[in-house]
Structure 1
Amino acid sequence: MFLNTGHLEEEIDSLLKLIEWPLPPATTSLEFSTHPKKSEFSLINPRSTYVIGEKVKVLIVARDHRGRPKSYGGDFFYAKLHSPNLKAGVSGSVVDNYNGSYTASFIPQWSGETVVSIKLMYSSEAIAILHEKRATRPDKFYFYGYFMKDGKEEEVECNVDLPGQDVCEYYDERYEEKWVCQRPRTLPCDAYRDHSGAGFREVLTAEEQKFFSTYLIDQEISTDAEPLNVLPQRDVIKGRRPCTPRLWTPHPSGFYYQDEWKSLVCSNEHFNDSKKVAKCLSDKMIYMLGDSTLLGWWEYLVKFVPTLKQISLHVPHLPGPLLATDAEHNYLVHFRAHQKPLRMNRISVKELHYISTELDGLGDRQGMVIVLTIWAHFVTYPVELYIRRLRHIREAVIQLLERSPHTKIFIKSANTGHDLPLVNDWLSYQLDTVMKAMFSKLPVTILDVWEMTSCHRIPQFLHPEPIIVKNEVDLMLSFICP
């Protein structure tokens, strides 16, 4: 075994401790919450010039709606350096000083005029609401179950739990997961046939909704700081390492320059020629299992490589399964969505498989590449549910590597772009932290795409623009063909 999984409760406790977040000392009104236009940042020890590779620090002072300095932390910021004309960007890191101030650090990666950007994504007061709703209202997104028998059909609400209701319960003993649907009026529980997403239930009070007003979230912080004048390095950095599993990921993990991602983890390649992609994937079987942010990778490859042709399996595009093959170069690319909870159009419940089940069905095959991601559909639920799902996936990964040690396994991280009040980047960031911790000791490659979406010049979307997807896929290919 590669990892001693330990006891579930002990691991849950340690992971929850890892993502603990400083919450306000008490429930407060809107006027005492952080206001982006009243808050400000300034350079620490500003200079007329900087050099590539040296650290630049910024002090952020959070202020409330009346302009008064905050006395506690917990705000969620994004920080980056960028040069729009150079199509360049790099993420910074933010440290909470727990007194209403924050220190942001940056490492410039290119020469020329460079702008510092600090965005308040969510105030600590808004995060306190998110924290409470995640734990107590897993029903904020709900689903439909469709029951059919003898020509009759009934539609009912379904979810991981429906407290106090008369339900049909579907419990998977192997994966320790429960799914329930309201009991149909006339049809039996075994008539459950189809599943679909339904919608969001309003669980915020009128007062709570004010903390998520558009003028308060995802907003630039004010500053009098001038753009940085960055000079080239005198000493040229030596070549980076080949892209192989279990490499340490620094911060920043890379940067954009002329819209190309330059990894600081390893020497990544840019696959601008479809023939180069086909050659890299030759004689391989690529299995992509996860959500629609990974489906975007499958779609990119099919569109970019002319010889890679989709074979219709006569199923909906999401959840799939989808299959594309390249007979000329002898490889295939397969995609399948993960099991419920899954927000999607109506589909047979038989088409929804656990990632663990899919992995358990794979033997020792030459040229096998597995790409996994699972997070976007779990942000509305208590973290414990997510941890339980990941533990079973992790165990299946361990067993697969024991059967097939040459298999390359990639874990795609979360990306930014969740922008609904109760489905957002702070929740995604929490799950992403958990995922990285749970897989960090395995001989797998974690493809950290969080920064690849957070520091690009294009506004953030849950499903990134093609230029970002290309860079993400190119990073994966760099590990497949280092």
Structure 2
Amino acid sequence: MGAAVYLFLGRVIEQSWRLSTQPVQTPPHVSRNIFLNSSQYKTTPEEEGARLSSLLQEFSGSYRDIPPGNDTTTSAEFTQFHIVNPGSVFRVGDVLFVTIRAMDIFNREKTHGGDFFRAKIYTEKTKSSAPGRVRDYGNGTYGVTFRLLWEGDVTVSVRMIHTSSAVRVMKLVAENFPFNRSRYQRKYIYGNKSSVSWCSLNLNDLKDPLDDGICDFSDSYAGVQWFCQKPRDVTCEQSVFHRHNGALTLDNLGLTEEEMGHFKLRVTKTGNGLEAIKATIQGKNTTVKVTANFPGASREEELPSCVPGLPAPVPSGYYRNGRWVSRICATTKLAPLEYKKCLQNKTIDFLGDSTLRQWIEFLAKLLDMDRIPDPYFTSDTVGPERFMEPTWNISSRYQSHGPPVKTLVWSNASVMSSLVRVIDNIAGGPNRVVVITLGMHFSNHPLDVFIRRARAVRDAILRLLSRQPETIIVMKTPNTSSSRSFYYTDDWSLFQMYLVMKEIFSGLSVVFVDAWEMTDCQFHEDNIHPPNDVIGEEVAYMLAYVCV
């Protein structure tokens, strides 16, 4: 009886928020071209694949040529970077060029690429920082470019997150365990009994002579593939709950001592793991002095008002005095009361993963919103969460995307509807803001799974903007993580999804919050859930497009 009431109340609330998981009538086909710069631009699926391959190859280098032996491993101790023309006069707005020369453990120059570096410039005194772009030339040399955006002594910081040898190991593990590095389960309820089975993105992972068939929860329209074993004597319709049952252990991966030596060993109570080395690279010259571009020059760039679809420079922004300064449009932080006035009668949807759950909870605290109890709520990862500010009639909700979802507690599967179905059921309009993210839960699955899901979400956004063009759509990229377990969540795979996401959603009239850049140069340690002050800057930047 209790379970029935629980499910009934959940369905009522689900309907009130337009979260029906029932199939909707598929609208006419919308082009799935992923590199639209205008409505006239067309590409074939082959051209799309070639563009993505080219993009990722430029980032990653040729990993197939990485030698397997330890004697060619990149050495963080011997590898150095140097500033090109360090004695030059640098002014605000100039581009700073840095070269990284990779060396092996015998202090020999490397002849191939594949190392994964991250770089930033910063001024500790003023809490100013900006991300750099690293390019792999494939011969052991890497180029980094920075835009100098503030005056003072500016320091270059370069970190080697993974050696090319470590990346080679990660690729081997991804090839050997493409889907089953994470383990998922489904719980079926029938009468007073329940049964649990295994689930996967890949049907072949579930072939088991002891089960009673397969439940296919896939949705090709939404770009979703999901299969679960069907226990004996139950129907697929009796499936109720989902959970993540952990990841493969280090012992399961079959790595040699040599291969494991390319990572840091992390010892925990639940088992050992391998994390990124994240080693600081030394430089011969690390600091340059930057002056104003001309006497009396303004420190701020002249920027337009914030509207969706604006082109993004590189980088899209930087920190000064701990505050994110956009280079896309003119942003202003408002007082809570001003935000309430601006958001009056508006509904904000936060759809994706728990990094957006951080956004909704930050906004709820900022606006002193009331939390509305939801009987479906089972975890911070999945939600759903709802908040209301009754005086100004501001409502918001958070909902997770569909599987794969890494929540270790049993969560009601019906609220993990695909983002495509959720977006298709949003009415839209000038009082609706829809914030979307993808990435974190896809990080240890094949990249084409993420690409397929992102393309389907893109089509849903195009349909929403077609029927209600005044709807504000916000896309948040993946942010950096702690890279504490390369076969679970790691910056190397997240950065690939970041690049893909920027390409797939290019050309749309949406707001793009570059959370990768905002965490790549932060003054905090990397964390899959960024600290509150970074979340505050992300939310403030998003609101600049709503409260123009």
TM-score by length of 1: 0.94
Question: Which of 183, 191, 198 in structure 1 is aligned with 2:245?
Answer: 198
Question: Which of 444, 451, 454 in structure 2 is aligned with 1:380?
Answer: 444
* Contact 2:263-2:277 at 8 Å conserved across structures: yes
* Contact 1:270-1:471 at 8 Å conserved across structures: no
Map 1:63-462; keep pairs closer than 5 Å: 63-137=103-177, 138-161=179-202, 163=204, 165-166=207-208, 167-170=213-216, 171-175=218-222, 177-184=224-231, 187-202=234-249, 203=253, 205-206=255-256, 207-213=258-264, 217-234=277-294, 235-236=297-298, 239-271=302-334, 273-306=335-368, 308-314=369-375, 315-316=377-378, 317-344=380-407, 345-419=409-483, 420-422=485-487, 423-462=489-528
CA RMSD in angstroms comes to: 2.2
Which sits farther off after the overlay, 314-323 or 116-125? 314-323
* Contact 2:82-2:286 at 8 Å conserved across structures: no
Secondary structure at the residue paired with 1:115? strand
Which sits farther off after the overlay, 172-181 or 55-64? 172-181
How far apart are residue 83 of structure 1 and its match?
A: 1.4
* Contact 1:375-1:428 at 8 Å conserved across structures: yes
Q: CA 1:408–1:35 in structure 2 vs 1: closer, same or farther (change >3 Å)? A: same
What does the per-residue CA deviation read over 1:2-50, in whole Å, with 9 as the maximum and x for residues that have no partner? 9732565653454233212311514412231212122111121111753
Q: CA 1:406–1:382 in structure 2 vs 1: closer, same or farther (change >3 Å)? A: same
Letter in 1 for 2:292: P
Which sits farther off after the overlay, 439-448 or 158-167? 158-167
Q: CA 1:439–1:50 in structure 2 vs 1: closer, same or farther (change >3 Å)? A: same
How far apart are residue 258 of structure 1 and its match?
A: 1.0
How far apart are residue 311 of structure 1 and its match?
A: 0.8
Letter in 2 for 1:201: L
Q: CA 1:123–1:189 in structure 2 vs 1: closer, same or farther (change >3 Å)? A: same
How far apart are residue 187 of structure 1 and its match?
A: 4.4
Which sits farther off after the overlay, 171-180 or 356-365? 171-180
* Contact 1:24-1:73 at 8 Å conserved across structures: no
Distance in 2 (CA, whole Å) between partners of 1:262 and 1:281 is 22
Letter in 2 for 1:67: N
Question: Which of 4, 12, 16 in structure 1 is aligned with 2:53?
Answer: 16
Distance in 2 (CA, whole Å) between partners of 1:192 and 1:238 is 55
Distance in 1 (CA, whole Å) between partners of 2:527 and 2:319 is 17
Which sits farther off after the overlay, 409-418 or 170-179? 170-179
Distance in 2 (CA, whole Å) between partners of 1:151 and 1:132 is 45
Distance in 2 (CA, whole Å) between partners of 1:2 and 1:350 is 26
Letter in 1 for 2:191: D
Letter in 2 for 1:169: C
Which sits farther off after the overlay, 213-222 or 401-410? 213-222
Secondary structure at the residue paired with 1:211? coil
Secondary structure at the residue paired with 1:41? strand
Distance in 2 (CA, whole Å) between partners of 1:53 and 1:357 is 44
Distance in 2 (CA, whole Å) between partners of 1:157 and 1:48 is 61
Letter in 2 for 1:208: E
Q: CA 1:92–1:176 in structure 2 vs 1: closer, same or farther (change >3 Å)? A: closer
* Contact 2:66-2:168 at 8 Å conserved across structures: no
* Contact 2:185-2:199 at 8 Å conserved across structures: yes
How far apart are residue 226 of structure 1 and its match?
A: 4.4
Secondary structure at the residue paired with 2:65? coil
Distance in 2 (CA, whole Å) between partners of 1:184 and 1:208 is 39
Which sits farther off after the overlay, 358-367 or 249-258? 358-367
What does the per-residue CA deviation read over 1:181-201, in whole Å, with 9 as the maximum and x for residues that have no partner? 234356454432211011110
- Ranges in structure 1 where 5+ consecutive residues have no aligned partner: none
Secondary structure at the residue paired with 1:377? helix
Distance in 2 (CA, whole Å) between partners of 1:389 and 1:263 is 29
* Contact 2:420-2:457 at 8 Å conserved across structures: yes
Distance in 1 (CA, whole Å) between partners of 2:187 and 2:240 is 6
Residue 32 (structure 2) aligns with: 5
Secondary structure at the residue paired with 2:221? coil
Secondary structure at the residue paired with 2:365? helix
Which sits farther off after the overlay, 297-306 or 106-115? 106-115
Which sits farther off after the overlay, 347-356 or 209-218? 209-218
How far apart are residue 174 of structure 1 and its match?
A: 3.3
Identity value in percent: 28
* Contact 1:12-1:384 at 8 Å conserved across structures: no
Letter in 1 for 2:259: E
How far apart are residue 154 of structure 1 and its match?
A: 2.5
* Contact 1:169-1:178 at 8 Å conserved across structures: no
What does the per-residue CA deviation read over 1:427-455, in whole Å, with 9 as the maximum and x for residues that have no partner? 01111111111111221122112111010
Distance in 2 (CA, whole Å) between partners of 1:12 and 1:139 is 25
Q: CA 1:205–1:154 in structure 2 vs 1: closer, same or farther (change >3 Å)? A: same
How far apart are residue 204 of structure 1 and its match?
A: 5.2
How far apart are residue 280 of structure 1 and its match?
A: 2.4
Secondary structure at the residue paired with 1:163? helix
Q: CA 1:204–1:44 in structure 2 vs 1: closer, same or farther (change >3 Å)? A: farther
Secondary structure at the residue paired with 1:142? strand
Letter in 2 for 1:74: G
Distance in 1 (CA, whole Å) between partners of 2:474 and 2:150 is 29
* Contact 1:41-1:60 at 8 Å conserved across structures: yes
Secondary structure at the residue paired with 2:159? strand
